[in-house]
């Protein structure tokens, strides 16, 4: 197992992937705020290319690629490690960050002659900071390193919530910040326990050393609770709806699509990598129950919201719930756990793209109509056909109708729960689909109707075609995920500890 | 030859999909929609070829989809394609529906064609959803309160059905040991599957929602009366057959399942008589036709149930024939509502007779396609109580259809405007076609000359005559003694289901209160601590 900590070919790419957004942040400061937008914009293609190159290396090698920083293998040094899911998440993050950059250019531009604004500079720098933090989370393999990235993620995400300075956004941001800090403390306590008991924080090394001792379980429980707080799993979702619903659309898309996935990703790392060898059935069931509660409660609450953005935010609460079904459905190393694993990751990706597109569309709607009250959407689809097409296609994925990534995810989840005999999980999966259909229907049915009650729909301003196209492109990715070939799911298995047992 | 057939099979879907693609270009959209009547032509061709051909299978590269056409599918496909061609051509010739309606029409068409040729679970599910969900746009894009309600009810049943089927299909897929999702493979594997009974139950319930099986029948009368006549003709004719083909494909007819078969037959017969009884309480011809659909789909369900009891695999073609006959007749009857309303008192003697023959064809009037349809499912209702019930259902259908003809005398307001002019003009031709075309398609196994046998002629004639006489005599007699039928709301049981649903909605506010409490700081802090504790107790 010595190769776990030695640099492999292509390992340097991981460093570059982290350095790129960090360099962007420094560059944005140096020549002044006016160029921050350009820096962010020009770095995105490189980030995307790097992510693709990493995926290529991982795919070709068929095993994780590693970079030992300073040539020192763990436990002395710190390693960066990218496996199948890291590579896929890196690509997803690069795509969504690119989309958000293009989408936000109009709102956070600093045209020639205009004064530099604080909000523009903040937005571009925080966007790159989030990207950097996510990259570290996806390729990091040291629990303390990951803690730092998690903190960076939170501290970069909070300012995005309150970027326009309205009082309610400040309240939402503070709520987010404080609760995320509780989560951080809990996580850090767990990390400290691991270090004290095992003398290393490297995921691969820990995985070899952990035993089912009370210290390990305490550490795991503390870390998990902290991560759940940051992922906003019901019932600790208090900060998510106001934060996601009040942020500007470009920021909401990043927060809902990517940021919550960061802490979820670490939960996966903890239970499927660090603690892979231990019996975790009961914990998996607890997480599954919490997820199911989130699916049901989040969906019902989404059905009851009056504002479109709040509806979408509660839909995120519900969709996060689905993610946690991966713990019971991918546990162990049976044939069905591979299906459950694929299903969970597919849900992460499908939700990331579909939800980002939905938030973009909600932003366009709010700008065009001057409000985001669902009750007043009557006939709006006629005025904004492309935006509503995006919402409809994104809704397709949320509801789990084919062809879409959401369908593939739910289809595989159902198969995993049937094959594993865990019948119970089929209920929240199906109920969530039905309720999702309900809230998508609530948006689309009035919008597609004639709308003669309120007279002609008046648009305050026509959304830019390019903006509508960005949102549409993201949903098309969510739809295209429904056609993912078998090799894609094999790729997701690369580096997963339990998959080694499979034939 | 088989290459050519494969191309035709692919073209049956590629043609409407190409038109859908053209709709994304604004300049072409109007033309594409106006030309969509051409799209089902390949389907019609392959349907006609596939009738007497060994099952065709084609794996579509990249997508992983499989297309498969067997004789039952071909029969229904040919009928549906014909209907789509005729109605679309007339609709876009005489009036130009708006793009929104046109797109929904095209999507429904694609789904409807697709369900008959889909060869794997995923593509079947996809096309089934396409055949059901966009149909919402054919009648419910409106600010009219009743239409909105109808649309919501239709959507609720559709989505619920989809969810049940998704679970059923996941079970079917999980039963297949090699990971194949082809329908043929999963159905072979189902016999030995531990989830066989659960899957069968879900399949019956899921497709039952599509074909208006009780207690899921409420949406059908509402939808058909809200839909404009051309849309109602399509939905009642071709749309519902998506459920029929689903039952044919996914009920394991090769494995005798006595319990499920018996239950299915019972529900089927129950639906048959339920449709007749509740149809008689209605006066709107469109609603009566919807109840007749519930009743006729009940006959199909019962036939499938009997086939399942006996393990008759060849029943699928016979039942598909019964469905194809219903497809043509029911659609033409819906058009009759418009055609006869437009002609009003000037209706010629011929068209009145045609309407009567067409209506009674459903009851099995001799020499009509309906008589052949009854002949086709005779093997399922051969003996015992099933035979008696089948005869009773014929009497009931005759009764209901005579009631329909009587109600047709009062033109339905707006019906004449809903029906495209050319369909009104050519209605007698269509009616003649619906009566005679089934003769050309009688399943290869059966012998059409049986229909001329004296015994069969009499078997067809007396229930029809009895039912018709009953309806004609009973109505005036009842009216004379001052007794009128109770008035039942359209969709009968749906009112109760709506009440139950409203009760469910009331949980919303309480959940909202709970959410507001949980999102208080102290509660969230406690939740976090509890999570830590629960995780700890679960792991130690």
pLDDT digits (tens, 9 = 90+) for A361-386: 999 999 999 888 998 888 888 888 89
| CB proximity A224 to B under 8 Å | yes
| C-alpha B143: how far from chain center | 27
The residues pairing with B120 across neighbouring beta strands, listed in sequence order, are B182
pLDDT(A503) > 50: no
Q: Which of B137, B533, B539 sits opposite A280 (nearest CB)?
A: B539
The DSSP line for B404-470 is: HHHHHTSPPTTHHHHS-HHHHHTHHHHHHHHHHHHHHT--TTS-GGGGGSHHHHHHHHHHHHHHHHH
Residue B511: both structure tokens together: 């959940």
Distance of alpha carbon A348 from alpha carbon A51, whole angstroms: 17
pLDDT attached to residue B455: 82
If one counts every other C-beta atom within 10 angstroms of the C-beta of residue A439, the result is 26
3-class DSSP assignment, residue A68: strand
Residues of A in Cβ contact (< 8 Å) with B143: 378, 449-453
Distance of alpha carbon A272 from alpha carbon B53, whole angstroms: 53
Residues of A in Cβ contact (< 8 Å) with B64: 483, 485
pTM of the entire structure? 0.93
pLDDT(A500) > 90: no
3-class DSSP assignment, residue B119: coil
pLDDT attached to residue A458: 73
| CB proximity A297 to B under 8 Å | yes
Residues of A in Cβ contact (< 8 Å) with B125: 402
Q: Which of A283, A403, A434 sits opposite B539 (nearest CB)?
A: A283
| CB proximity A448 to B under 8 Å | yes
Question: CB–CB of A450 and B129 under 8 A?
Answer: no
3-class DSSP assignment, residue A421: coil
> H or E element: which one contains B295?
helix B285-310
Q: How far is B187 from chain A (nearest CA, A)?
A: 16
pLDDT attached to residue A2: 44
Residue A54: both structure tokens together: 């990493």
Looking at B311-440, list the stretches that DSSP marks H as alpha helix, in order from N- to C-terminal side.
Answer: 315-343, 349-361, 369-376, 384-408, 415-418, 421-425, 427-440
Nearest by Cα to A144 from A207, A91, A92, A79: A79
3-class DSSP assignment, residue A378: coil
> H or E element: which one contains B57?
strand B56-59
ipTM, two decimals: 0.90
Q: Is the peptide bond before B215 cis (omega within 30 degrees of 0)?
A: yes
Nearest CA in chain A to B521: A238
Question: CB–CB of A286 and B155 under 8 A?
Answer: no
Residues of A in Cβ contact (< 8 Å) with B62: 483
Q: How far is B248 from chain A (nearest CA, A)?
A: 22
The DSSP line for A109-156 is: ---TTSPP-HHHHHHHHHHHHHHHHHHHHHHB-BHHHHHHHHHHHHHH
Residue B467: both structure tokens together: 């039912």
pLDDT digits (tens, 9 = 90+) for B148-194: 899 999 999 999 999 999 999 999 999 888 888 999 999 989 888 88
Question: CB–CB of B100 and A448 under 8 A?
Answer: yes
Nearest by Cα to B129 from A389, A425, A385, A407: A407
Q: Which of B140, B518, B532 sits opposite A225 (nearest CB)?
A: B532
Residues A43 and A25 sit within 8 Å (Cβ to Cβ): no
Q: How far is A469 from chain B (nearest CA, A)?
A: 13
Distance of alpha carbon B499 from alpha carbon B163, whole angstroms: 22
Question: CB–CB of B152 and A441 under 8 A?
Answer: yes
Residues B471 and B376 sit within 8 Å (Cβ to Cβ): no
Q: Render the burial of B346-380: b for 16+ CB within 10 Å, e for the rest.
A: ebeeebbebbbbbbbbbbbbbbbbbbbbbbbbbbb
* Biggest CA-to-CA distance, chain B: 86
pLDDT(A502) > 60: no
Question: CB–CB of A238 and B521 under 8 A?
Answer: yes
For chain A, give the percent of residues with pLDDT over 90.
73
Question: CB–CB of A445 and B126 under 8 A?
Answer: no
The residue among A235, A414, A465 with the most chain B CBs within 10 A of its CB, best to mutate, is A235
- The average pLDDT across A449-465 equals 71
Distance of alpha carbon B393 from alpha carbon B403, whole angstroms: 15
pLDDT digits (tens, 9 = 90+) for A345-366: 999 999 999 999 999 999 999 9
pLDDT digits (tens, 9 = 90+) for B411-467: 888 888 888 989 988 999 999 999 989 888 886 556 777 778 888 888 888 999 999
Q: Which of B159, B195, B521 sits opposite A434 (nearest CB)?
A: B159
> H or E element: which one contains A66?
strand A65-68
3-class DSSP assignment, residue B69: strand
- The average pLDDT across A194-216 equals 92
Q: Which of A241, A403, A430 sits opposite B126 (nearest CB)?
A: A403
Return the axis-axis angle of helices A426-448 and A281-303, rounded to nearest 10°. Answer: 20
Distance of alpha carbon A284 from alpha carbon B329, whole angstroms: 56
Percent of residues in chain B assigned helix, strand, coil, to nearest 5:
75, 0, 20
Nearest CA in chain B to A294: B515
Residues B91 and B109 sit within 8 Å (Cβ to Cβ): no
Nearest CA in chain A to B139: A449
Residues of A in Cβ contact (< 8 Å) with B169: 411
Residues of A in Cβ contact (< 8 Å) with B171: 418
Return the axis-axis angle of helices A12-29 and A36-61, rounded to nearest 10°. Answer: 180
Residue A420: both structure tokens together: 């594993």
- The average pLDDT across A377-405 equals 91
Question: CB–CB of B512 and A301 under 8 A?
Answer: yes
Question: CB–CB of B166 and A285 under 8 A?
Answer: no
Burial class (CB in 10 A: 0-12, 13-18, 19+), A2: exposed
Distance of alpha carbon A368 from alpha carbon B308, whole angstroms: 57
pLDDT attached to residue A4: 63
The DSSP line for A85-96 is: HHHHHHHHHHHH
pLDDT attached to residue A452: 55
Q: Render the burial of B137-156: b for 16+ CB within 10 Å, e for the rest.
A: bbbbbbeeeebbbbbbbbbb
If one counts every other C-beta atom within 10 angstroms of the C-beta of residue B504, the result is 10
pLDDT attached to residue B478: 76
Residues A324 and A293 sit within 8 Å (Cβ to Cβ): no
The residue among B104, B166, B181 with the most chain A CBs within 10 A of its CB, best to mutate, is B166
| CB proximity A274 to B under 8 Å | no
Distance of alpha carbon A70 from alpha carbon A79, whole angstroms: 9
| CB proximity A410 to B under 8 Å | yes
pLDDT attached to residue A7: 86
Residues of B in Cβ contact (< 8 Å) with A238: 518-521, 524
Nearest by Cα to B232 from B114, B140, B110: B140
Nearest CA in chain A to B178: A335
Nearest CA in chain B to A450: B142
Question: Of residues B454 and A22, which shows the higher confidence score?
Answer: A22
Question: CB–CB of B137 and A221 under 8 A?
Answer: no
Residues of B in Cβ contact (< 8 Å) with A235: 518, 523-524, 527
**Please, which residues have CB within 8 angstroms of residue B443's CB and are 6 or more apart in sequence?**
B71, B75, B317, B318, B321, B376
Q: Which of B142, B148, B539 sits opposite A217 (nearest CB)?
A: B539
pLDDT digits (tens, 9 = 90+) for A30-83: 876 678 888 999 999 999 999 999 999 999 999 999 999 888 888 888 999 999
**Please, which residues have CB within 8 angstroms of residue A238's CB and are 6 or more apart in sequence?**
A175, A179, B518, B519, B520, B521, B524
Q: Which of A186, A300, A437 sits opposite B159 (nearest CB)?
A: A437
Question: CB–CB of B133 and A401 under 8 A?
Answer: yes
pLDDT tier, A501 (very low <50, low <70, confident <90, very high otherwise):
very low
pLDDT attached to residue A1: 43
pLDDT attached to residue B343: 80
Q: Which of B170, B511, B528 sits opposite A182 (nearest CB)?
A: B528
The residue among B13, B517, B535 with the most chain A CBs within 10 A of its CB, best to mutate, is B535
| CB proximity A228 to B under 8 Å | yes
Nearest by Cα to A54 from A97, A8, A119: A8
| CB proximity A422 to B under 8 Å | no
Nearest CA in chain A to B513: A301
Q: How far is B395 from chain A (nearest CA, A)?
A: 40
End-to-end Cα spacing for chain A:
20
Q: Which of A301, A430, A483 sits opposite B63 (nearest CB)?
A: A483
Secondary structure letter of residue B237 according to DSSP: I
pLDDT(A485) > 50: yes
Q: How many CA atoms, within 13 angstroms, populate the side-chain half-sphere of residue A393?
A: 26
Distance of alpha carbon B68 from alpha carbon B59, whole angstroms: 9
> H or E element: which one contains B289?
helix B285-310
Beta-carbon pairs below 8 A across chains A and B? 136
Please give the average pLDDT of every successive group of 10 residues along chain B, which has 540 residues. 86 94 90 93 93 88 87 94 95 88 95 95 94 92 86 93 95 89 91 88 94 91 93 94 95 84 93 93 93 96 92 88 94 92 78 91 90 88 88 93 90 85 91 90 71 82 90 79 76 85 85 90 92 89
Q: Residue with structure tokens 């067409």? A: B358
Conformation bin of residue A379: beta by default, left when phi > 0, alpha when psi is -120 to 50: left
End-to-end Cα spacing for chain B:
68
Conformation bin of residue A37: beta by default, left when phi > 0, alpha when psi is -120 to 50: alpha
pLDDT digits (tens, 9 = 90+) for A231-250: 999 999 999 999 999 999 99
C-alpha triplet A388, B146, B497: angle, nearest 5°: 95
For chain A, give the mean pLDDT: 91
């Amino acid at each position: 197992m010595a190769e776990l900590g030695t640099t492999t070919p292509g390992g340097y790419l991981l460093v570059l992937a982290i350095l790129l957004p960090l360099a962007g942040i420094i560059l944005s400061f140096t020549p002044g705020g006016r160029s921050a937008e350009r820096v962010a914009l020009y770095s995105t293609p490189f980030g995307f290319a790097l992510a693709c190159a990493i995926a290529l290396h991982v795919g070709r090698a068929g095993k994780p690629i590693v970079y030992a920083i300073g040539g020192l293998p763990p436990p002395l040094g710190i390693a960066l490690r990218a496996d199948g899911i890291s590579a896929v998440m890196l690509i997803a993050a690069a795509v969504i960050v690119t989309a958000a950059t293009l989408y936000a250019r109009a709102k956070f531009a600093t045209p020639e002659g205009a004064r530099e604004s604080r909000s523009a500079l903040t937005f571009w720098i925080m966007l790159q900071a989030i990207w950097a933090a996510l990259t570290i989370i996806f390729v990091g393999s040291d629990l303390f390193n990951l803690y730092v990235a998690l903190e960076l993620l939170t501290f970069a995400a909070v300012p995005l919530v309150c970027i326009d300075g309205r009082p309610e956004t400040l309240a939402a941001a503070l709520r987010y910040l404080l609760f995320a800090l509780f989560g951080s403390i809990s996580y850090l306590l767990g990390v400290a326990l691991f270090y004290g008991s095992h003398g290393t924080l490297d995921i691969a090394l820990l995985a070899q050393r952990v035993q089912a001792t009370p210290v390990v379980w305490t550490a795991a429980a503390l870390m998990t609770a902290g991560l759940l707080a940051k992922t906003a799993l019901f019932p600790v979702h208090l900060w998510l709806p106001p934060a996601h619903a009040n942020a500007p659309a470009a920021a909401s898309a990043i927060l809902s699509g990517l940021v919550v996935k960061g802490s979820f990703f670490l939960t996966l790392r903890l239970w499927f990598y660090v603690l892979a060898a231990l019996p975790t059935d009961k914990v998996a069931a607890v997480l599954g129950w919490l997820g199911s509660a989130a699916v049901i409660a989040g969906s019902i609450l989404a059905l009851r919201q009056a504002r479109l953005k709040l509806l979408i935010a509660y839909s995120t609460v519900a969709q996060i719930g689905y993610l946690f079904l991966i713990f019971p459905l991918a546990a162990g190393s049976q044939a069905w756990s591979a299906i459950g694993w694929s299903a969970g990751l597919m849900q992460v990706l499908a939700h990331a793209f579909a939800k980002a597109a939905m938030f973009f569309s909600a932003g366009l709607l709010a700008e065009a109509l001057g409000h985001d009250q669902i009750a007043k959407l009557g006939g709006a689809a006629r005025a904004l056909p492309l935006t509503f097409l995006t919402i409809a296609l994104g809704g397709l994925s949320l509801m789990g109708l084919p062809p879409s990534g959401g369908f593939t995810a739910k289809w595989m989840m159902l198969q995993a729960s049937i094959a594993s005999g865990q019948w119970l999980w089929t209920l929240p999966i199906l109920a969530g689909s039905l309720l999702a259909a309900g809230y998508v229907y609530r948006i689309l049915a009035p919008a597609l109707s004639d709308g003669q009650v309120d007279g002609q729909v008046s648009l305050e301003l026509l959304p830019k075609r390019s903006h509508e196209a960005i949102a549409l492109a993201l949903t098309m990715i969510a739809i295209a995920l429904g056609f993912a070939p078998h090799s894609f799911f094999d790729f997701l298995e690369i580096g997963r500890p339990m998959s080694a047992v499979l034939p | 030859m088989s290459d050519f057939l494969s191309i035709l099979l692919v073209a049956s879907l590629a043609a409407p999909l190409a038109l859908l693609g053209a709709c994304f270009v604004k300049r072409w959209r109007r033309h594409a929609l106006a030309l969509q009547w051409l799209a089902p032509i390949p389907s019609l061709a392959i349907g006609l070829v596939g009738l007497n051909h060994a099952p065709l299978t084609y794996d579509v590269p990249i997508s992983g989809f499989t297309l498969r056409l067997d004789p039952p599918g071909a029969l229904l496909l040919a009928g549906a394609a014909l209907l789509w061609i005729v109605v679309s051509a007339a609709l876009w010739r005489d009036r130009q529906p708006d793009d929104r309606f046109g797109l929904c029409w095209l999507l429904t068409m694609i789904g409807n064609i697709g369900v008959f040729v889909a060869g794997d679970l995923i593509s079947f599910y996809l096309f089934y959803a396409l055949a059901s969900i966009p149909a919402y746009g054919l009648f419910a894009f409106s600010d009219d309160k009743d239409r909105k309600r109808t649309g919501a009810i239709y959507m609720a049943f559709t989505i619920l059905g989809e969810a049940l089927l998704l679970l059923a299909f996941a079970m079917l897929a999980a039963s297949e040991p090699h990971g194949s999702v082809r329908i043929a493979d999963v159905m072979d594997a189902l016999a030995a599957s531990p989830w066989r009974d659960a899957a069968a139950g879900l399949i019956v319930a899921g497709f039952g929602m599509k074909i208006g099986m009780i207690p899921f029948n409420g949406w059908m009368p509402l939808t058909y009366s809200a839909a404009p006549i051309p849309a109602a003709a399509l939905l009642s004719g071709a749309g519902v057959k998506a459920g029929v083909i689903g039952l044919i494909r996914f009920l394991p007819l090769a494995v005798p399942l006595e319990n499920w078969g018996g239950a299915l037959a019972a529900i089927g017969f129950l639906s048959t008589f339920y449709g007749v009884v509740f149809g008689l309480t209605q006066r709107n011809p469109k609603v009566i036709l919807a109840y007749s659909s519930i009743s006729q789909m009940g006959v199909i369900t019962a036939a499938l149930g009997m086939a399942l009891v006996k393990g008759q695999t060849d029943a699928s073609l016979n039942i598909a024939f019964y469905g194809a006959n219903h497809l043509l007749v029911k659609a033409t009857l819906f058009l009759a509502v418009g055609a006869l309303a437009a002609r009003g008192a000037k209706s010629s003697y011929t068209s009145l007779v045609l309407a009567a023959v067409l209506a009674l064809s459903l009851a099995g009037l001799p020499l009509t396609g309906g008589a052949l349809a009854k002949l086709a499912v005779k093997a399922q209702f051969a003996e015992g109580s099933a035979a008696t019930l089948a005869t009773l259902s014929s009497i009931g259908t005759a009764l209901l259809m005579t009631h329909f003809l009587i109600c047709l005398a009062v033109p339905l307001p707006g019906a004449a405007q809903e029906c495209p002019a050319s369909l009104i003009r050519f209605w007698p031709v269509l009616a003649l076609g619906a009566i005679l075309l089934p003769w050309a398609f009688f399943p290869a196994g059966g012998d059409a000359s049986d229909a001329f046998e004296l015994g069969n002629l009499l078997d067809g004639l007396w229930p029809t005559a009895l039912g018709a006489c009953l309806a004609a005599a009973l109505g005036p007699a009842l009216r004379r003694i001052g007794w009128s039928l109770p008035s039942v709301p359209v969709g009968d049981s749906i009112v109760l289901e709506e009440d139950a649903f409203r009760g469910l909605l009331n949980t919303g506010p309480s959940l909202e209160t709970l959410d507001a409490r949980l999102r208080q700081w102290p509660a969230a802090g406690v939740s976090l601590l509890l999570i830590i504790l629960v995780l700890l107790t679960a792991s130690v």
